[in-house]
């Protein structure tokens, strides 16, 4: 009976050690966020980021204006990005970002053949490539606060030489949750 009791205790202690060493896995990969800066100015701007590793993540961002408080010529803005983090914690601290931005804006362009030159409004869709940098803080409870800024250039519209939106700005003050 003593042997059975000792064998059971040893088996349980070995099993406990095995679970405590190998049972840890990081499972917080998702970050939905909202841009408070743009929300105050009348834009619905949401982001979802998926963390690939301790040093990188990919995400998608959608911005749609809903208020005429500031006259936005933007109809919508869809951005995909890749981030590389330089902090000591998992996807935290300073980061650099490369992004591709599909944007649709109402811009004023010159009417060909008009003398004197006349301008008209036109909805133009274009793709911009750019870079950004920022800083992210993540609390122990999973609350995310990040600030970032950057810019890019529209590439493919035939009206780029006549446009006001040749360059785009990417900036924000995001608040979200990591789970």
Q: With 60 as the cut, is the pLDDT of residue 64 above it?
A: yes
117: left (phi over 0), alpha (psi -120 to 50) or beta: beta
Annotated domain spans of the chain: 30-177
Contact 95, 85 (CB under 8 A): yes
| Local confidence band at 22 (pLDDT 50, 70, 90 cut-offs) | very low
CA-based nearest residue to 178, from 32, 25, 58: 32
| Local confidence band at 21 (pLDDT 50, 70, 90 cut-offs) | very low
What percentage of the chain has pLDDT greater than the value 70? 75
Query: Looking at the whole model, is its pTM more than 0.85?
Result: no
37 phi, psi to nearest 5 deg? -60, -50
Bridge partners, residue 146, by sequence: 136, 174
Q: With 70 as the cut, is the pLDDT of residue 57 above it?
A: yes
Q: Mean pLDDT check: name the lowest of 8-22, 75-89, 129-143, 157-171.
A: 8-22
User: What pLDDT is attached to residue 77?
Assistant: 94
Residues 43, 60: Cα–Cα separation, whole Å:
16
Q: Mean pLDDT check: name the lowest of 10-19, 43-52, 65-74, 84-93.
A: 10-19
Residues 36, 139: Cα–Cα separation, whole Å:
18
Bridge partners, residue 60, by sequence: 48, 80
What percentage of the chain has pLDDT greater than the value 90? 55
Q: With 90 as the cut, is the pLDDT of residue 157 above it?
A: no
| Local confidence band at 113 (pLDDT 50, 70, 90 cut-offs) | low
CA distances from 53 to 29, 47, 81, 83, 91 (A): 9, 18, 15, 11, 8
Q: How far is CA 177 from the centre of its chain?
A: 13
Segment 135-150 mean pLDDT: 96
- Mention the CATH class of domain 30-177: mainly beta
| Local confidence band at 5 (pLDDT 50, 70, 90 cut-offs) | low
User: What pLDDT is attached to residue 16?
Assistant: 45
């Amino acid at each position: 009976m003593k042997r059975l009791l000792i064998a059971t205790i040893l088996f349980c202690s070995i099993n406990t050690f095995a679970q405590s060493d190998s049972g840890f896995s990081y499972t917080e990969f998702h970050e939905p966020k909202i841009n408070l800066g743009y929300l105050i100015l009348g834009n619905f701007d949401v982001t979802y980021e998926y963390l690939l590793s301790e040093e990188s993540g990919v995400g998608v961002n959608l911005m749609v204006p809903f208020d005429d408080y500031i006259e936005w010529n933007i109809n919508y803005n869809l951005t995909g990005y890749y981030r590389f983090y330089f902090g000591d914690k998992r996807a935290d601290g300073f980061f650099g970002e490369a992004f591709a931005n599909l944007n649709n804006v109402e811009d004023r362009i010159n009417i060909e053949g008009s003398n004197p030159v006349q301008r008209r409004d036109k909805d133009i869709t274009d793709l911009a490539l750019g870079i950004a940098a920022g800083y992210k803080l993540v609390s122990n409870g999973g609350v995310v606060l990040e600030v970032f800024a950057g810019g890019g250039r529209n590439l493919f519209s035939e009206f780029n030489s006549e446009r006001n939106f040749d360059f785009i700005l990417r900036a924000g003050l995001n608040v979200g949750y990591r789970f």
